Amino acid sequence: MKDHSPVAGIHSVRSALKFGAEGVGELWLERSRRDRRLGELADLARQGGIQVRSVDRGELDDAASGANHQGVLAWVRVPASRTERDLSAHLDRIEGAPFLLLLDEVQDPHNLGACLRTAEAVGVHAVVAPKDNAVGLTPVVCKVASGAAETMPYYQVTNLARTMDALKSRGIWLIGTAGEAPGDLHAADLTGPLGLVMGSEGTGLRRLTRERCDSLIRLPMLGRVESLNVSVATGVCLYEALRQRRHA
């Protein structure tokens, strides 16, 4: 479908239908497959006024591009990225301490999709990234995010450093990650108004981004590997923040 990307698999499709049904164009079910869970997805789609089609397995295989579709695929509209003005209005509506994720020039759509999925899972209020040299909400991002691209607000800003200054003026504490940082993740205070800042896949945090962080922390690395994939590192940091915030 034009302007829609395929989201495959029972869990991912259920998330798209439950939390972003307005963006789902069609639901495809494998014609020859009999599965109670597929029937539940069909009912969920029809309740939302979404067309349900029975298709051959070959059509699902082609559309899913190798993903394990489990006999179901949803065509989901790729959401538009939001802007600085949208971010300011969104922050005004947050009740309690803001919890943000800032991604400095993350360019791999698989990494962004994974970051959005984890951010949504731990209750992050918004993900912020620069417009330039960073991936937007592509069909691949939506597929990897498994429904989180529709529910997690993603803001692409013209100048990330300037946006960080604006966040700090709101009392949001910005903590960046760097391998050489003296502070340890588990010793850092990740409660209160927080913006966790993660660097790009290759070079990490840019100089201006690093300079605007209130503090820098590192992940404990006990093996020979010097760094983690940015989406893995983001997941580790976000769940440590969630642990602290739940017990604050």
Query: What are the binding residues for S-adenosyl-L-methionine?
Result: 199, 219, 228
Q: How far separated are the first and last CA of the chain, in Å rounded?
A: 46
Rounded CA-CA distance 90/142 in Å is: 22
Non-local CB neighbours of 228 within 8 Å, separated by 6+ positions: 219, 221, 236
| Dihedral sign from CA coordinates of 175, 219, 178, 107 | negative
CA angle 124, 182, 191 (to 5 degrees): 30
Give the residue numbers of the binding site: 199, 219, 228
DSSP 85-111: HHHHHHHHH--SS-EEEEESS---HHH
- Structure tokens of 25? 């164009």
Structure token digits, residue 54: 């029975």
